[in-house]
Amino acid sequence: MLPLVPLTSPPATEAQLLHQAQRVAGYSLGELAAMAGLPIPKDLKRDKGWIGVLLERWLGASAGSKPEQDFAALGVELKTIPIDSQGRPLETTFVCVAPLTGNTGVTWEMSHVRHKLKRVLWVPIEGDRAIPLADRRVGAPLLWSPNEEEERQLSQDWEELMDMIVLGQVERITARHGEVMQLRPKAANSKALTEAIGAHGEPILTLPRGFYLKKNFTGALLARHFFA
């Protein structure tokens, strides 16, 4: 048996990436943290991105805050997703920050959302808060690209939300806008402000927003794979 160790450099191929993700499937977060020499927090209250960082480490993603895909050379984005005992998502999935200004002429084709979601390695993680963090297990990974239907849904929601942003309606957007993708605050706190367009075309300051995939969307794509 080869020893199970984190990748220290990015995988060279998708197949290699997927294979490593399959190797860590079944292990608990406690086991993976110990093998990687990473301290494990008692819960996620103050370490919300800890699982994502742990998996980045195991799969050889370049950590950091670079505005590009986790595996740039492969064009693949890594997403961990908390699931319940039935394999259903427990949380929405953050995609990227929404640009609130400078959007004239921007199309779906060139959007950050489309680019981010072009190819995603989904790694489901047991997320029930009743399970101690260290005992939560990693599920089987799924390498995914949006099919025609999903691409249509995403682009439709993106158009709707971006139209409202461009037309100065950002503060009227609620999480109910969009069938599969929503716009919600994405900020350090409620005092963090960024520039946007007001109802009369004037500059305003508002909460930074992010695009999030709704659970119906991620739930369906996971189900399609695992319960087909």
Partner DNA sequence: CACTGATCATGA
Partner DNA sequence: TCATGATCAGTG
Q: Which residues bind DNA (CB under 7 A)?
A: 43-49, 51-53, 55-56, 64-67, 70, 77-82, 84, 91-94, 96-97, 125, 127, 129, 174-176, 182, 184-195, 207-208, 210, 212, 214-216
Which residue lies nearer to DNA by CB, 116 or 148? 116
- Minimum distance from residue 31 beta carbon to DNA (Å): 18
- Calpha distance 222→213 (Å, rounded): 13
Antiparallel, parallel or unpaired: β 77-83 and 120-126 = parallel
Which residue lies nearer to DNA by CB, 2 or 227? 227
Which residue lies nearer to DNA by CB, 86 or 104? 86
- Minimum distance from residue 2 beta carbon to DNA (Å): 26
Residue in 134, 19, 10, 117 with CA at minimum distance from that of residue 74? 10
Question: How is residue 192 written in tokens?
Answer: 């963090």
Which residue lies nearer to DNA by CB, 2 or 70? 70
Contact at 8 Å (CB) between 192 and 207?
yes
- Minimum distance from residue 141 beta carbon to DNA (Å): 12
Which residue lies nearer to DNA by CB, 51 or 155? 51
Antiparallel, parallel or unpaired: β 77-83 and 93-97 = unpaired
- Minimum distance from residue 227 beta carbon to DNA (Å): 17
Contact at 8 Å (CB) between 60 and 11?
yes
Which residue lies nearer to DNA by CB, 3 or 227? 227
- Calpha distance 14→76 (Å, rounded): 8
Give the list of residues 6+ apart from residue 168 with CB closer than 8 angstroms, or none: 196, 197, 198, 199, 200, 201
- For helices 148-166 and 215-226, give the axis angle rounded to 10 degrees: 170
- Calpha distance 159→170 (Å, rounded): 13
Which residue lies nearer to DNA by CB, 3 or 203? 203
- Minimum distance from residue 26 beta carbon to DNA (Å): 18
Contact at 8 Å (CB) between 29 and 132?
no
- Minimum distance from residue 147 beta carbon to DNA (Å): 21
Ordered alpha helix ranges (H), 119-193: 148-166
- Minimum distance from residue 1 beta carbon to DNA (Å): 28
